Amino acid sequence: MLSLTLHPNSILRKRAEEVGTITPEIKELVLAMIETMKENKGVGLAAPQVGVSKRIIIVKTENGPAAFVNPRIFKKSRTVEADEEGCLSVPGIFLKIKRIKKVEIEALDFDGRKIQIKAEGFLARIFQHELDHLNGVLIIDRINFWQKIKFALKI
Ligand code: CO
């Protein structure tokens, strides 16, 4: 199991780098990330959360945990919905975050094949949360002014 990078940490604030090819080292990292996500009872994990600034995320899909390398959203619905979200790097905090309801993601899978996936609701939320991690964005950045005040005062 890998150790989790917790906020505040500069690696969580950097734009993660694209992965060139899926090497055996990358596969090893992916497997360790899956194990780490499961151990921590997470539904998603991004490489910067285990101290690796690369564009790799693990998402718990209906078929189990899957890796998405160099993921990008190429289609979005217009509707948004707000729901509670937590983050393994910001433990003990749950914040109501607005996310796009439906997204379509393009990425490379574990074997380096180009894949596309449609996600809706909770799954779409996980993808957006993990993609945020690859761009140095945390849930505490996505809240409004009043939520920020509450968060700062811990109320
Ligand atoms: Co997170």
Per-residue pLDDT tens for 12-39? 999 999 999 999 999 999 999 999 999 9
- Gap from CA of 6 to ligand 1 centroid (Å): 10
The neighbour count for residue 80, using CB atoms within 10 Å, is 11
Catalytic residue at 130? yes
Helices (H) and strands (E) in the chain, counts: 3, 7
- Give the per-residue pLDDT at 144: 83
Which residues of the chain are modeled with pLDDT < 70? 155
- Give the per-residue pLDDT at 153: 82
- Give the per-residue pLDDT at 36: 98
- Gap from CA of 28 to ligand 1 centroid (Å): 21
Helix (H) or strand (E) holding 43: none
- Give the per-residue pLDDT at 151: 75
- Give the per-residue pLDDT at 104: 98
Q: How many residues does the chain have?
A: 155
- Mark the residues whose beta carbon lies below 5 A from ion ligand 1: 87
Distance CA 141, CA 143 (A): 6
- Give the per-residue pLDDT at 146: 83
